[in-house]
Chain A
Amino acid sequence: MKTYLLPFLGALIVFGIVFLGLDFTMMNLQGLSLLFHS
């Protein structure tokens, strides 16, 4: 559990935040928001 599951979950949260940040930045750079507003 300690050797695999905890590091997996921790890294999953970290990378999730990283990719969310990447999406936010790239959409903003193109003049768009992260969430669509019609």
Chain B
Amino acid sequence: MQNRNSKTIYGALFIAVFALFLLPSLVPGFDASLAFADEAAVSAAAEAEATTYPPAPKLTAADYPTIPGVNSRVTVWLAAQLHLWFGAFVLAVPIFVFIIEAIGMATRDKRYDNMAYEFIKVSITAYSLTAILGGLLAFSLILFYPDLFRYLSTIFKESMFVYALLFFAESAVLYIYYYGWNWLQGGFKKWVHLTLGLLLNATGAMLMFMANSWTTFMMSPAAVDAAGVFNGDSWAAIHNFLWNPINIHRVIANVAYGGSIVGAYAAFKFLSAQNKDQRAHYDWMGYNANFIAIAALLPLPFAGYYLTAEMYAYSQQMGITLMGGVFAWIFIIQAVLIGALFLSANYYLWCGMGRSEGAHRYNPYMKYLAVVIVGSFLVWFTPHTLVLTNAELKSLGGPYHAILGPLGIMPAKNTAVNLLILFTFLSFMFYRRANKTATVSWAAQGNAVQAALFTAGIINIFILGVYYGYFTNTVYKVAASIPQVLTTLVIIVVSVVIDSFMYKGAKQVAPLHWGRVPARSQYALFLLAVSFTWLMGLMGYVRSGIRQHWHVTNIFRDNSPDAFTPGLGYAANVISVGTIIFMAMVIFVFWLSTVSGRKSTAAGYWKEQGA
């Protein structure tokens, strides 16, 4: 068994090294040393100048191949979305597995190592599904949108080729990382293993960044003229306006999403646990997964806001379509789902307080947290422009509600989301204190300082939201969101620092009973995973839909029969179907990880048994 694993590992190592050495020779100028860099750049430029690129084609409906009974747009939509869901999961898992493995190495607590190994095991099948769905997406694009694919692959030929080759490196590193887990234990070997984890993250991130550039090029094209003629500058085409905003958003979102999926896995295993030890193990795993999901969820609204701000900066028309036009109500649905995320994450933490008797001291505060979180949620999803009939419009006296209308604009929502984030953080801080008593002499003063920090910060957030939101102009209104965000971040960072000093050497009031949580808390973890998935589907549709009738904005017109913005109900139905398909596939992945550990004794089946 060890021999077989070693052979697999050496083989995979050979492929990884081969792929990594092959890559530089295929990317122009990549392998140039300093002495040859200029020469390579000059020859690349000369080559580019010599190559003339065609303009973006002007297509008609007849140029789009069809297959009877197959809706091209929905096929590509679902293939892309399913691929993205799985892709997000398999990129996220190595991020927190790397961190968990490092924590295990630092604390020498093998539970962390075992948990990291279990997370990677769950994601192995998901890697295959990601690749299969990627293949389905590529085939769908080639079959149904061949001219678009040809146009994009002409511009991105180098990065698409590197992308394909990088899968060799990623697969090889993943297999060595997973199959070599028990072999590369202890001392230097453990550092080698951790480095492989880092390499896995690096290749995964590169894959995502490359694919992101093709997507964002379609939204904010670069290195092409008005007719769509490429100027040969591949890096400029990759490094287009929306590339980095989406890179940042997807990295953070992937971590939050991956945490929620493994949380759902832990919840599934908890509910099907056979004994107390299993329940304790999966309860602990679920808690860690929820922690990862919340930790990444807290900065996520800001990453999304930054992405939207950059969309507005690139094209006001695109930005207004996104949030002020036809897609505005999708953002209301998004707000409801984000509220569900925050509510279920908090509910899970509050249920978790029951693990320790020491938490009873903090129970009276929970209702105040709940009131603020629910209140913020209500403001967060209050719409501005209402969907009204003429009669309703007349009786209301306009498209906006007289009292609630002002809560529908961004300053109110920014204020609400900052409070949601702060109070979710507060829930976590209470949870963290549940089974401890601070023994430092300045504990009371420390609490007073933290209370003052929160009070001053919340007052500041309100003043920024109300004053700049309702008594100034748009420029000030938008600008004020930055100090609002920073206030929240300052509160979180300073509070964590104070608390970590305050609870050094803390006394344990009552032990944490892992496994002692009600079953409904596990359903909160399921809700987290489903809400995240649904939300990603909605936002993915919006990001793609704001291109409206363009394959590549303002450059390459979409003249396919399906080039229309569907009604919200239709779009929501497609996304819901996709979510159900994804959930079914995820349950399949979870089930596989369960059966892989099962053994059946087939008495009398094998001839050796009869002898």
Q: Which residues of B contact A32 (CB under 8 A)?
A: 475-476, 479
Once A30-B482, A32-B475, A36-B468 are accepted as A-B contacts, the answer to whether A19 and B457 lie under 8 Å apart by CB is: yes
The residue from A3, A15, A16, A30 contacting B444, defined by CB atoms under 8 A apart: A3
Question: What is the minimal beta-carbon distance from A30 to any residue of chain B, in angstroms?
Answer: 5
Once A3-B445, A23-B460, A32-B476 are accepted as A-B contacts, the answer to whether A15 and B483 lie under 8 Å apart by CB is: no
Count of interface residues, chain B, beta-carbon cutoff 8 Å: 28
A1-38 residues with Cβ-Cβ distance < 8 A to B are: 3-5, 7-12, 14-16, 18-20, 22-23, 26-27, 30, 32, 36, 38
Whether the pair B452, A22 counts as a contact (CB closer than 8 A) is no
Q: Which residues of A contact B448 (CB under 8 A)?
A: 3-5, 7-8, 11
**What residue of chain A has the Cβ atom nearest to residue B452's Cβ?**
A11
Whether the pair A26, B453 counts as a contact (CB closer than 8 A) is no
**What residue of chain B has the Cβ atom nearest to residue A23's Cβ?**
B483
Whether the pair B483, A12 counts as a contact (CB closer than 8 A) is no
Q: Does B456 contact A (CB under 8 A)?
A: yes
Q: How far is the CA of A28 from the CA of B447 in the complex (A)?
A: 33
12 CB contacts below 8 A, A to B, read A3-B444, A4-B445, A9-B452, A14-B452, A15-B452, A15-B456, A16-B460, A18-B490, A19-B490, A26-B486, A27-B480, A32-B476
Q: How far is the CA of A14 from the CA of B447 in the complex (A)?
A: 15
Question: What is the minimal beta-carbon distance from A11 to any residue of chain B, in angstroms?
Answer: 3
Q: Which residues of A contact B444 (CB under 8 A)?
A: 3-4, 7
**What residue of chain A has the Cβ atom nearest to residue B490's Cβ?**
A22
Q: Does B390 contact A (CB under 8 A)?
A: no
Q: How far is the CA of A31 from the CA of B472 in the complex (A)?
A: 15
Q: Which residues of B contact A9 (CB under 8 A)?
A: 452
A-B contacts counted at CB < 8 A amount to 72
Question: What is the minimal beta-carbon distance from A35 to any residue of chain B, in angstroms?
Answer: 9
Question: What is the minimal beta-carbon distance from A3 to any residue of chain B, in angstroms?
Answer: 4
B433-470 residues with Cβ-Cβ distance < 8 A to A are: 444-445, 447-449, 451-453, 455-457, 459-460, 464, 467-468
**What residue of chain B has the Cβ atom nearest to residue A20's Cβ?**
B460
Q: How far is the CA of A9 from the CA of B471 in the complex (A)?
A: 29
Q: Which residues of A contact B459 (CB under 8 A)?
A: 16
B60-100 residues with Cβ-Cβ distance < 8 A to A are: none
The residue from A12, A23, A36, A38 contacting B464, defined by CB atoms under 8 A apart: A23
Whether the pair A22, B483 counts as a contact (CB closer than 8 A) is yes
Q: Does B487 contact A (CB under 8 A)?
A: yes
Question: What is the minimal beta-carbon distance from B496 to any residue of chain A, in angstroms?
Answer: 15
Top 5 nearest A-B pairs by Cβ distance?
A: A11-B452, A15-B456, A36-B472, A7-B448, A8-B448
Question: What is the minimal beta-carbon distance from B484 to any residue of chain A, in angstroms?
Answer: 9
- Give 1 or 0 for each of B380-391: 1 = CB within 8 Å of chain A CB: 000000000000
Whether the pair A30, B479 counts as a contact (CB closer than 8 A) is yes
Interface centre among A7, A32, A38, by most B CB within 10 Å? A7
Q: How far is the CA of A7 from the CA of B445 in the complex (A)?
A: 6
Q: How far is the CA of A19 from the CA of B569 in the complex (A)?
A: 44
Q: Does B473 contact A (CB under 8 A)?
A: yes
**What residue of chain A has the Cβ atom nearest to residue B461's Cβ?**
A19
B380-421 residues with Cβ-Cβ distance < 8 A to A are: none
Q: Which residues of A contact B468 (CB under 8 A)?
A: 36
Question: What is the minimal beta-carbon distance from B531 to any residue of chain A, in angstroms?
Answer: 32
Question: What is the minimal beta-carbon distance from B58 to any residue of chain A, in angstroms?
Answer: 42
Question: What is the minimal beta-carbon distance from B88 to any residue of chain A, in angstroms?
Answer: 32
Q: Which residues of B contact A30 (CB under 8 A)?
A: 479, 482
Question: What is the minimal beta-carbon distance from B282 to any residue of chain A, in angstroms?
Answer: 41
Q: How far is the CA of A19 from the CA of B559 in the complex (A)?
A: 53
The residue from B451, B472, B483 contacting A8, defined by CB atoms under 8 A apart: B451
Q: Which residues of B contact A14 (CB under 8 A)?
A: 452
Q: Which residues of A contact B455 (CB under 8 A)?
A: 12
Whether the pair A7, B449 counts as a contact (CB closer than 8 A) is yes
Question: What is the minimal beta-carbon distance from B171 to any residue of chain A, in angstroms?
Answer: 45
Q: Which residues of B contact A3 (CB under 8 A)?
A: 444-445, 448
Q: How far is the CA of A18 from the CA of B221 in the complex (A)?
A: 42
Question: What is the minimal beta-carbon distance from B306 to any residue of chain A, in angstroms?
Answer: 14
Q: Which residues of B contact A4 (CB under 8 A)?
A: 444-445, 447-448
Q: How far is the CA of A14 from the CA of B453 in the complex (A)?
A: 9
